[in-house]
Amino acid sequence: MLIETILKDKGGTVTTITDKATLAEAASLLDQKRIGAVVAVDSKGALIGVLSERDIVRRFARNGAKTVSMTVADAMTRGVITASPSEDMDTCLGRMTDRRIRHLPVVSDGKLLGIISIGDLVKHKIDSVLAETEAMTAYIKSG
């Protein structure tokens, strides 16, 4: 299954934040949207980083209470690993496992189209396996 198919099912809504926002603002946004990561963008909307709950927790462990006033730029992951809509799910699952990341922004021609999580991919993988199992069971029963 292609990433573009998963994005069509999931939708292309991406929660973004500027790199100048505070980590307190970012944490509030993550909580409000009930998501695990947010995409950091520059003033033109270009992808410049990803900030996850894990990034905030690590900063808090290192810096304590002053973490809330630090900026997204202080904690975000730069050099973001992305996916393209034409890639298949298994390739992206492998990349996420190898790189130990849980979120992949989907980008085409420099434009942010969406974001997929490892949970999105696992869900679609399970659905695919179940559909295949049902088809095989139906085939065997019909023979």
User: Does residue 143 surpass a pLDDT of 80?
Assistant: no
- Asked if 96 contacts 118 with a C-beta cutoff of 8 angstroms, the reply is yes
Dig out the tokens for 88 from the structure: 């298949």
Range of the structural domain that residue 113 is part of: 3-142
* Inter-residue contact 49 to 19 (CB < 8 Å): yes
pLDDT value for 139? 84
* pLDDT, tens digit, 9 for 90 and up, residues 18-57: 999 999 999 999 999 999 999 999 888 889 999 999 999 9
Identify the CATH number of the domain in which residue 59 sits: 3.10.580.10
What would the pLDDT profile of 65-123 be if each residue is shown by its tens digit? 999 999 999 999 999 999 999 999 999 999 999 999 999 999 999 889 999 999 999 99
Residues 6+ apart with CB under 8 A from 143: none
Number of domains in the chain: 1
Within 13 Å and on the Cβ side, how many CA atoms surround 96?
22
The pLDDT of residue 128 is above 90: no
